[in-house]
Amino acid sequence: MKRVSVALILLLILAGCQTSPNKESRKAEGNTQATKLYESKRGFQYAPGTNEEFRLKPLSPGEQKFGYSQLCLDTKSFTCEPLPYAKYKDMKGFFLSMEPARIDYSGYEFRRVVLQNGKRFFYISNENYGGIYTKHSPIRRVSSSKNRIGKPIAAKSTITVAGIEEREGGPYVNLSNGVQIKERQFTAFIKVIAPVSDPDRFDELTRLLAELELVYDIAKDRIVIHHYSTKKSPLQAYIINKHGKLSLLIRHQYTANKRLYPRSFALLAGKTQYKSTRLSFESKERADKTREWHDIEPKADYLKVLTTVADAKKATLRFYSNNYFIDREITFSDRVRLKQMLRTYQLLK
């Protein structure tokens, strides 16, 4: 009996010796895997390559407490816990793909992104509300024009891209002639000036375009060039670039408390007077104001009048209705802007 007990004890001791190393081995293996994951995280290399890069925007003091929204861990919902401002302020990231990983029923798009700290998220946007980059987006595009540094801005130009400068409101592209172009409209800028063949035009043209806004009109697939803050001006000029084909558009408009129902207009500048034929005006009512306007692609005779108006000391735009008319002054600022637009159009042709 004693021999059986001793034998049983010996078997149990041996069994214990055999199982202990296996437990330790599994534990050690688990620790090794954890260490590898930790090292992988610690050794993350931020390398956007050719992928589109962005930066988390600085937020106003009032917005900072809410943090950065639109960056979610999954695609279950387009609302998620915001990222803390202090931790993520100014952090860079890039899109793994510009193609949405998912689009939900209401049009929200989920794109995979990686941040500078190695964290992965889905960036949420909606084309119905401006797309990826809007005024209220938590991100802004980091310059995509770095690969153009040192290269000419157009085939016939000696002006090159000197560098990219990060500034408040977004990056700017510095040209070798000292001109700065907003990076967000640099692609449109390059497309607009590409057909210009006279090398002597580029310096003046770049300086003029730097003061204008170049907007890509998605709906009509065209680039629209206009002056900033001209919505209230009675006389406005727009340059339209549709796949390299240029046109000039002059808008004649007035805003008043009630509709005038105009049928024609006259442009008066000293002895120079231009009277239009009978026209159909478009209108739009907003709150207690009415706006009516008519767009014209000017021919040679009217272009000559517009040039005179741009150089005049005083000019008036008169709108005729059936029984009366109203006048709108073309201010000094309006005339300066008109002159810049006419000259830009001349240089681009």
pLDDT at 79 over 50: yes
Q: What's the average model confidence in pLDDT over 130-139?
A: 87
CA distance 52 to 282: 41
Q: Which of 12-16, 285-289, 313-317, 322-326 has the highest mean pLDDT?
A: 313-317
- CA 258, 262, 266: angle at the middle one, nearest 5? 125
pLDDT at 289 over 90: no
Confidence category of residue 339, pLDDT binned at 50, 70, 90? very high
Contact 58, 89 (CB under 8 A): yes
CA distance 120 to 137: 18
Contact 154, 142 (CB under 8 A): no
pLDDT at 229 over 80: no
CA distance 154 to 199: 9
Q: How is residue 23 written in tokens?
A: 């437990």
CA distance 238 to 323: 31
pLDDT computed for residue 285 by the predictor: 87
Terminal Cα-to-Cα distance of the chain (whole angstroms):
113
Q: What is the mean pLDDT of the chain?
A: 85
Task: Give the C-alpha distances (Å, rounded to integers) separating 22 from 4, 11, 12, 254, 257.
Answer: 28, 17, 16, 87, 88
Contact 162, 119 (CB under 8 A): no
Length of the chain counted residue by residue? 349
| Residue 321: other Cβ atoms inside 10 A | 13
Q: What would you report as the CA-atom Rg of the chain, rounded to the nearest whole angstrom?
A: 32
pLDDT computed for residue 144 by the predictor: 65
Give the pairing type, strands 212-217 and 180-182.
Answer: unpaired
Task: List, for residues 326-336, the tens digit of each pLDDT value.
Answer: 999 999 999 99
Q: What's the average model confidence in pLDDT over 282-296?
A: 90
CA distance 349 to 303: 14
Q: Say which range, 20-34, 55-69, 88-102, has the weakest mean pLDDT.
A: 20-34
Q: Taking Cα atoms as reference points, which of 252, 179, 190 lies closest to residue 216?
A: 190
- CA 30, 32, 33: angle at the middle one, nearest 5? 65
Q: Which residues contact 344 (CB under 8 A, 6 or more apart)?
A: 205, 208, 209, 212, 225, 239
Q: What's the average model confidence in pLDDT over 174-178?
A: 96
pLDDT computed for residue 150 by the predictor: 92
Which helix (H) or strand (E) segment is 215 a member of? strand 212-217
pLDDT computed for residue 43 by the predictor: 65
Percentage with pLDDT > 70 across the chain: 85
pLDDT at 13 over 50: no
CA distance 52 to 113: 10
Where do the H-state alpha helices sit in 92-194?
A: 186-193
Q: Taking Cα atoms as reference points, which of 286, 297, 290 lies closest to residue 242?
A: 297
